[in-house]
Amino acid sequence: MAIKNAFYAQSGGVTAVINASACGVIQTARKHPEQIGKVYAGRNGIIGALREELIDTSLESDAAIEALLHTPGGAFGSCRYKLKNLTENRREYERLIEVFQAHDIGYFFYNGGGDSQDTAFKVSQLAEKMGYPITCIGVPKTVDNDLPFTDCCPGFGSVAKYIATSTLEASLDIRSMSESSTKVFILEVMGRHAGWIAASGGLAGAGEGEPPHIILFPEVPFDREAFLKRVDFCVENYGYCVVVASEGAQYEDGRFVAEAGSKDAFGHTQLGGVAPALANMVKQALGHKYHWAVADYLQRAARHIASATDVEQAYKVGQAAVEMALAGKQALMPTIVREQASPYRWHIGEAPLSEVANQEKKMPIHYITDDGFGITDDCRAYLQPLIEGESFPPFEKGLPKVAKLQNQLVEKKLKAEFDI
Amino acid sequence: MAIKNAFYAQSGGVTAVINASACGVIQTARKHPEQIGKVYAGRNGIIGALREELIDTSLESDAAIEALLHTPGGAFGSCRYKLKNLTENRREYERLIEVFQAHDIGYFFYNGGGDSQDTAFKVSQLAEKMGYPITCIGVPKTVDNDLPFTDCCPGFGSVAKYIATSTLEASLDIRSMSESSTKVFILEVMGRHAGWIAASGGLAGAGEGEPPHIILFPEVPFDREAFLKRVDFCVENYGYCVVVASEGAQYEDGRFVAEAGSKDAFGHTQLGGVAPALANMVKQALGHKYHWAVADYLQRAARHIASATDVEQAYKVGQAAVEMALAGKQALMPTIVREQASPYRWHIGEAPLSEVANQEKKMPIHYITDDGFGITDDCRAYLQPLIEGESFPPFEKGLPKVAKLQNQLVEKKLKAEFDI
């Protein structure tokens, strides 16, 4: 079998551990020089392939690649760019083939969520439909934990650990303040369509009255009256109320709570923030003093408090992707298969890209308590192992050390530029 | 000298390390049974003294007290309550004396910021003006770093480390996304009057073009045009722009940026959020895609990423307070005295409460760059040692372990209740 180069790219919202997957791909490829030549990383995902902007990872030292294990963000740049269908934009696919051909690329590894697995699937069709032989394997990644077939998604466990830890810590803070000051604390977390991240806040406490007292899921229609009643009950009975709210919390009619009508001085709709929207609701209806936080990028970039389980799984799906490709497999995505929850045991499985693409896994209804404001024991059992283990990065001068890559581009071989 | 009991209380906004000061006070007191009987902690600060709600810390095990070292929040409850002057509310002071007398309290340790040192000073006057002998020592604490006389305030170093780390991590995230998605990221941090916390975000990067690209300080009047121009310059030249904004950022005329005119659907002024206010400004003027985060309580509760320097200083000011009291000193606050920045050396000094109370230490103007958007090398040299060293808490089931106290109240001896 001829030696071929590999293309690897990162796609969609990045995570604290997507670079651990990159590390898994590159280190494993380096162990197989008899089959894989160089690993070229797309500069800003698939855009790098279309523009022929290929980063030569062979120029990076072993130490720099190893440092990817503890570096958040996407080391080669990511993108939000979805390939159209072959019939809609044939030119894009032709361009990919030109670039792959020019750089002798025979392996394609695409690291991302649902949309990205769709892209990987489309590229895998190049082999079949346009006669260009390329081995395509998707590498799962998403903080939203919404990919099908896999028990969990690399990236999620670390966000879950961050949110559970932050909820625990902030709850101790507000509990101290509640007698004479703040009584309600609202933490807004990611998850536009699925409540997995919000659910993870629930791990901070379990007993009667322990925070968080309210979790708002996108899966449960937001009921203003029930929410306010529950807030008031908690303040009355526990002295304070901690709310973890998914950014995707929405009313029965599909309007996001975050969009519910606030306008700025110019009459423009104020963009965003389910936390401030809820805080204003509490203030107006109940008058309680509140604080709110919006974790936003902090939650998915927080490599300093990553889950060791998550880091390991992120690495392993990268490694498995290369091993699958070397074994001649095609159009697959490695998955995490749970063997048992406690003690946690798992192994790598596989799922066909054709079925992964564009499916969303929401929270099962039996993971949410009957009142819609909490997580069940089943949900806890599912989430618990995913946040376990610490994987602190090395520190230097008080700050996490991160990989410093050269990210040097390969010389272009094609004359034409490509506008995307 | 007769054995007397001690009263210790926490006051104002709590921090990741105020319990380390509590640990310093209690452990040091336990070493001196010949002078100090029991340490009673005020339930919710000075309110606990007024209500005769005294927590008997002697019932807590050595292990539980030791665990305070890694537990954020205020373990005994804090308060926002400021004693009036003796002439304005003599009854309050009489009540304090009644409670202290009833419980044989001869030492008063009050752990807080400027307002709290004011309270400690007023209580110290009881001895002089009302003939009740009590030794009063303040214990400094504030994330705002705005106490005078002390080189830094316990609580600040850990927030600074959290903000610098979060800025670094989130910057790697947005840098990955900026080619085809988010171009501006705004992190809102605490500091209503002083920009110390915002400044600490500056430690995340130092070279030309390194994030954060813009820091907004309360000390520098907000100039909308200059801000937007700088954002645009960064997006144009570096591909993205990271902003760390103090919640206290304000216009020349004193209006907070956060309050600048946004109203909800009912016409109520929308409360809070300099980050969303800036994000909307950027969107409307420049059209860039943005993300924003508000760290709020997460920053001051983040014991998991506390600075080891800060934890040590917090402990030592608690220890020093007790040692000063035992040495017969009165109406003082232990301070941190910097000997040199690199390698960092410091020792404990002291300042009179009469002069500490109600003074605010703002950022010196030479700590801010001429354009008003960054920190100078002097500022870096000041901040750097304060975030150094890691002091990770122990973890259990993926979450930080925290102290579990019994917080049992001493039986009341006074008949009268006291309404506050």
Which pairing describes strands B4-10 and B36-42: parallel, antiparallel, or unpaired?
Answer: parallel
Chain A residues closer than 8 Å to B312 by CB: none
What number is the average pLDDT over the span B248-270?
72
The pLDDT value recorded for residue A83 is 87
Using the predicted structure, report yes or no on whether residue B391 has a pLDDT greater than 90: yes
Question: What pLDDT is recorded for position A1?
Answer: 65
* Distance of alpha carbon B402 from alpha carbon A343, whole angstroms: 23
Q: What is the DSSP string of A284-343?
A: HHH---EEEEE-HHHHHH-GGG-BHHHHHHHHHHHHHHHHHHHTT--SEEEEEEEEETTT
pLDDT, tens only, A105-155: 999 999 999 989 999 999 998 877 888 999 999 999 999 999 999 999 999
Give catalytic residue positions of B. Answer: 144
Topology alike, domains B4-142+305-358+391-400 and B156-301 = yes
Q: Which residue has the higher pLDDT, B269 or B101?
A: B101
> CB-based contact (8 Å) between B203 and chain A?
yes
Query: What is the predicted pLDDT for the residue at B262?
Result: 53
Tell me whether residue B115 is exposed, middle or buried, using C-beta atoms within 10 angstroms of its C-beta: 0 to 12, 13 to 18, 19 or more. Answer: middle
Mean pLDDT of chain B: 94
State the residue for tokens 């880091």. Answer: A311
Contact B106, B3 (CB under 8 A): no
B241 Cβ contact partners less than 8 Å away, ≥ 6 residues apart: B183, B184, B185, B211, B213, B214, B230, B231, B234, B235, B288
Measured in whole angstroms, the distance separating CA A288 from the mean position of its chain's CA atoms is 34
Helices (H), B189-267: 196-201, 224-238
| Domain over A156-301 is classified CATH 3.10.290.10 | no
* Contact (CB<8Å) B16/A295: no
Has residue B1 got a pLDDT over 90? Answer: no
Question: Alpha helix locations (H) across A15-61?
Answer: 18-30, 46-50
> Is a pLDDT exceeding 90 seen at residue B105?
yes
**Does residue B184 or residue A89 have the better pLDDT?**
B184
Beta strands in B24-168 (DSSP E): 36-42, 54-56, 105-112, 135-140
Question: Which percentage of chain A shows pLDDT scores above 90?
Answer: 86
Looking only at the bridges linking them, the beta strands covering B105-112 and B4-10 are parallel
From the list B16, B179, B261, the residue facing A264 with the nearest CB is B261
Count of CB pairs separated by less than 8 Å, A with B: 245
Average of pLDDT values for B400-414?
Answer: 97
Residue A142 in marked binding region: yes
| Domain at B4-142+305-358+391-400: CATH code | 3.40.50.450
| pLDDT (0 to 100) of residue A38 | 98
Could you tell me the maximum CA-CA distance found in chain B, to the nearest angstrom? 73
Q: Which A residues, 130 through 159, put their C-beta within 8 Å of a C-beta on chain B?
A: none
Contact with chain B for residue A279, Cβ under 8 A: yes
> Position of tokens 């599909």?
A254
Q: Do B298 and A185 touch (CB under 8 A)?
A: no
Q: Which of residues 354-393 of A touch B (CB under 8 A)?
A: 384, 387-390, 392
Q: Please write the tens of the pLDDT for every residue from B346-358.
A: 999 999 999 998 7
DSSP 3-state of B111: strand
Q: Token digits for B370?
A: 């001429």
- Shortest Cα–Cα distance, A131 to chain B (Å): 30
pLDDT at residue B310 in the model: 98
CB contact under 8 A, A172 and B10: no
CA distance B49 to A72: 48
What proportion of chain B, given as a percentage, has pLDDT over 90?
86
| Pairing assessment for the beta strands B54-56 and B36-42 based on DSSP bridges | antiparallel
Which residue is associated with the tokens 């030479």? B366
Query: What is the predicted pLDDT for the residue at A294?
Result: 97
Q: What is the mean pLDDT of residues B156-173?
A: 98
pLDDT tens figures, A13-31: 999 999 999 999 999 999 9
For residue A283 the two structure tokens come to: 């203030």
**B262/A261 Cβ within 8 A:** no
Nearest CA-CA partner of B18 in B59, B77, B63, B64: B77
Over 70: is that where the pLDDT of B345 sits?
Answer: yes
DSSP per residue, B140-192: E--TT---SSSSS-TTHHHHHHHHHHHHHHHHHHHHHHTTTS--EEEEEE--S
pLDDT for residue A264: 47
Beta carbons of A48 and A15 less than 8 angstroms apart: no
More confident residue, A270 or B313: B313
Using alpha carbons, list the distances in angstroms from residue B119 to A34, A48, A203.
Answer: 75, 62, 39
Buried-state track B356-375, b at ≥16 Cβ within 10 A, e below 16:
bbeeebebeeebbeeebbbb
- In A149-219, at which residue ranges do the beta strands (DSSP E only) sit? 184-189, 214-216
In degrees rounded to 5, what are phi and psi of residue B304?
Answer: -65, -20
**Alpha carbon A213 to its chain's center:** 25
ipTM: 0.97
Rounded to a whole number, what is the distance in Å from the CA of B97 to chain A's nearest CA?
22
Contact at CB, B72 and A273, closer than 8 angstroms: no
pLDDT band at B272 (very low <50, low <70, confident <90, very high): low
- B222-257 in b/e form (b: 16+ CB < 10 A) is beeeebbebbbebbeebebbbbbbbbbbbeeeeebb
Q: Which residue of A has its CA nearest to B274?
A: A276
Show the tokens assigned to A405.
């890559």
Q: Report the chain A residue with the minimal C-alpha distance to residue B80.
A: A180
pLDDT value, residue B271: 47
Please give the class, per CATH, of domain A4-143+305-358+385-400: alpha beta
The tens place of each residue's pLDDT in chain A, 420 residues long, gives 689 999 999 999 999 999 999 999 999 999 999 999 999 999 999 999 999 999 999 999 999 999 999 999 999 999 999 888 888 888 999 999 999 999 999 999 999 999 899 999 999 988 778 889 999 999 999 999 999 999 999 999 999 999 999 999 999 999 999 999 999 999 999 998 899 999 999 999 988 899 999 999 999 999 999 999 999 999 999 999 999 999 999 999 999 998 755 554 445 454 468 999 999 999 999 999 999 999 999 999 999 999 999 999 999 999 999 999 999 999 999 999 999 999 999 999 999 999 998 778 889 999 999 999 999 999 999 999 999 999 999 999 999 999 999 999 999 999 888 888
Please give the Cα distance from B105 to B109 (Å, whole number). 11
Per-domain residue ranges of chain A: 4-143+305-358+385-400, 156-301
Q: Which of A44, A79, A171, A173 should we substitute to test contact with B (largest number of B Cβ atoms within 10 Å)?
A: A173
Give the pLDDT score at A334. 98
